[in-house]
Amino acid sequence: MMARTFSVALLLTLAAASQSSAQARLDRTRIPTPGKSPALHVPAWTHSKLANGAELIVVEKHDLPLVALTIEFVGGTSSYEPADKTGVAAFTASMMSEGTKTRSADQLSDAQQMLGISIGAGVGQETGTIGFTALKDKLQPSLALLADMMLNSTFPDSALERLRSRAVVSLTQQRDQPNTIANNVFSMVVYGDDHPYGRVLTERSAKAVTRADVVAFASMYFRPGRAVITVTGDVNPRTVRGIVEKELAAWPAGGERPTFSYPAPPAPKSRMIYLVDKPKAAQSVFAFGGVGPPRNTPDYYALEVMNNILGVLFMSRLNADLREAKGYSYGVRSGFAFGRGPGAFRAGGGMVSAKSDSALIAFMKELKGVQGDIPFTDDEMKQGKESLMQSLPGRFASVNGLAASVSSLYAQDLGENYFRDYAKNIDAITRDDLVRVAKKYIDLDHINLVIVGDRASIEGPLKATGIAPVQIVDVEGRPVLVP
């Protein structure tokens, strides 16, 4: 003890005099002590409403001459897309590049290229966006172009036919993609096609969409009453407001936020392996899980920490065991979808075919583990929380990240203090909370085990694990009659 104290004191003295002497005494087994945690700096923003009802947020960020503008629409396919017209929202978003009353599709493309921008539009399950990132001096002409696309698109029939044909090719290609197959079958098995969360684009639905459907969707959907406009970057709020008011002057008031009322998901079925045959596949793709809670669950923070330890961190339980210790996989993850409705809990990854059975056993053990079988250690708790709390500033590093982060507060009703209070809410979670939410939201008796892989070599071993019966299904999740 004495010797150690002495050497440290000596080292400090010498460090000032001679770097190289200190070097010889460097104890490399000593982990450097971290400095004080940096204070969380949540960027400030302005929030106002335009006359037409759209919300406007401006966040200043002056390190580079860049600006990002996004218009986020609250509500998406699950509220606005008819069940028999899956794909109409995606077609509409694509067709906004197909020409306006005054610009042909080529002219729209050329105008964007001249500005160095690409205006992207997309509609997801619960929100949609249209926006761009540009050099700051291009903000106004870029927004003028966006407004033209949003308000004056002509949606030509010929473009719909071309996009439809391309969608059919891409659907055909996806049938080769084991991850896409796993996604689709998982949605179908967990939610079924009567639930908006279970719907996927098919050739059938792509073929049912007409130009009239697209026109109707566009005029109903892109309305200021459900819009959050966010501008981030090397700008000032007053100038931005002037530009936005001028360029969106022709956007009439209207539209409202949806209620997000969902039908109840199908009743849970008993535990089952749904096997999709992919002959000679090098890997078996696992997609395991079931219905989870909505984003507004009071258990959100506990689930974030629990799931971080289970399957998000590189040294999460799943990845540390199945990838690092056992070498079955290149990566294993788990996550909660956290929608406005009951989004899925899902865990999975690609497993080497020959170890499909062992991987299944290991998977089930870890899922059972977080429910109390394998207690959470102090270090898991510390790391599970700190990694979430301290990674927050990374979301504010780029103009796009910043725009998405701040916009989400308003588009998802997270509250203006969400970032400020985030660390406090995470830190309050206890070990008991983790076990409680793991038991409550991961239903192992009814877990759906979707596996896409080489049936000939893996079906027998999977059955032999005794974990669940095997049901053979096709790429759309329909049972296949087994001879």
Partner 1 sequence: MRHTRSLCLVASLAAAPLAAQNTVNIPFERMTLANGLEVILSPDHTVPQVAVNLWYHVGSKNEVKGRTGFAHMFEHVMFTGSGHVPYGMHDRLTQGVGGSNNGSTTNDRTNYYEIIPTNYLESALWLEADRMGFLLDSLDEAKFKAQRDIVQNERRQGVDNQPYGRVGEILDAAIYPESNPYSWPVVGYLPDLQSATVNDVKDFFRIYYAPSNATMAIVGDFDVAQTKAWIHRYFDDIKRGTSITRPKVAAPVLTAEKRYTYEDRVQVPRLYLQYPGVGSDNDDTYALRYLAQVVAGSRTARLTKALVYDTPLAASVGAFVNTNENSGEFSINVTPRPGHSLSEIEAATDDILARIKREGPTEEELAKTRAGLEFIYVSRLQANNGRANILNDGLVFHGDAARFKKDYAKLKAVTAADVKRVANKYLTAGRVVLSVVPMGKADQASKAAASSIVTVAPDGAHYILGTK
Show Cβ contacts of residue 304 under 8 Å, excluding neighbours closer than 6 positions.
388, 426
Amino acid at 80: Y
Binding of residue 44 to partner 1 (CB under 8 A): no
Structure tokens belonging to residue 107: 């002219």
CB of 6 vs partner 1, minimal distance in Å: 20
* Residue ranges in 296-441 assigned as alpha helix (H): 300-311, 317-318, 356-368, 378-390, 399-411, 418-427, 431-441
Contact residue for partner 1 among 13, 21, 41, 416 (CB under 8 A): 41
Binding of residue 326 to partner 1 (CB under 8 A): yes
Contact residue for partner 1 among 14, 151, 168, 381 (CB under 8 A): 168
Binding of residue 29 to partner 1 (CB under 8 A): yes
Cβ atoms of 122 and 76 within 8 Å: the answer is no
Longest dimension (CA), the chain: 86
Binding of residue 296 to partner 1 (CB under 8 A): no
Contact residue for partner 1 among 196, 255, 350, 477 (CB under 8 A): 350
Binding of residue 18 to partner 1 (CB under 8 A): no
Report how many residues bind partner 1 under the rule CB under 8 A.
85
Q: Site residues for partner 1, window 91-110 (CB under 8 A)? A: 97, 105-106, 109-110
Q: Which C-beta is closer to partner 1: that of 223 or that of 385? A: 385
Show Cβ contacts of residue 170 under 8 Å, excluding neighbours closer than 6 positions.
none
Structure tokens belonging to residue 173: 């290609």
**Spatial distance between the Cα atoms of 288 and 262, rounded to a whole number of angstroms:** 23
Binding of residue 378 to partner 1 (CB under 8 A): no
Binding of residue 64 to partner 1 (CB under 8 A): yes
Which of the ranges 81-89, 162-170, 299-307, 427-435 carries the binding residues for partner 1, by CB under 8 A? 162-170
Contact residue for partner 1 among 202, 387, 408, 471 (CB under 8 A): 387
* Residue 276, phi-psi category: left (phi > 0), alpha (psi -120 to 50), beta (remainder): beta
Which of the ranges 189-197, 245-253, 276-284, 466-474 carries the binding residues for partner 1, by CB under 8 A? 276-284
Element spanning 106, H or E: helix 105-115
**Spatial distance between the Cα atoms of 320 and 342, rounded to a whole number of angstroms:** 29
Binding of residue 114 to partner 1 (CB under 8 A): yes
**Spatial distance between the Cα atoms of 232 and 402, rounded to a whole number of angstroms:** 7
Q: Which C-beta is closer to partner 1: that of 13 or that of 172? A: 172
Q: Which residues of 17-56 are buried (b: 16+ CB within 10 A; e: fewer)?
A: eeeeebeeeeeeeeeeeeeeeeeeebeebebeebebbbbb
CB of 182 vs partner 1, minimal distance in Å: 12
Binding of residue 328 to partner 1 (CB under 8 A): yes
Q: Which C-beta is closer to partner 1: that of 79 or that of 284? A: 284
Binding of residue 277 to partner 1 (CB under 8 A): no
CB of 87 vs partner 1, minimal distance in Å: 16
Contact residue for partner 1 among 249, 250, 315, 428 (CB under 8 A): 315
Handedness of CA 378, 380, 384, 389 (dihedral sign): positive
Q: Which C-beta is closer to partner 1: that of 110 or that of 245? A: 110
CB of 2 vs partner 1, minimal distance in Å: 23
Which of the ranges 26-34, 191-199, 217-225, 428-436 carries the binding residues for partner 1, by CB under 8 A? 26-34
Any idea of the CA torsion for 190, 194, 196, 199, to the nearest 10 degrees? 70
Binding of residue 352 to partner 1 (CB under 8 A): yes
Contact residue for partner 1 among 119, 134, 160, 318 (CB under 8 A): 134
Amino acid at 139: L
Binding of residue 457 to partner 1 (CB under 8 A): no
Structure tokens belonging to residue 309: 């330890």
Which of the ranges 191-199, 209-217, 253-261, 378-386 carries the binding residues for partner 1, by CB under 8 A? 378-386
Binding of residue 446 to partner 1 (CB under 8 A): no
Any idea of the CA torsion for 376, 285, 294, 298, to the nearest 10 degrees? 0
Binding of residue 245 to partner 1 (CB under 8 A): no
CB of 181 vs partner 1, minimal distance in Å: 11
Handedness of CA 54, 42, 243, 407 (dihedral sign): negative
Closest CA to 110 of 135, 145, 136: 145
Contact residue for partner 1 among 298, 394, 466, 483 (CB under 8 A): 394
Binding of residue 265 to partner 1 (CB under 8 A): no
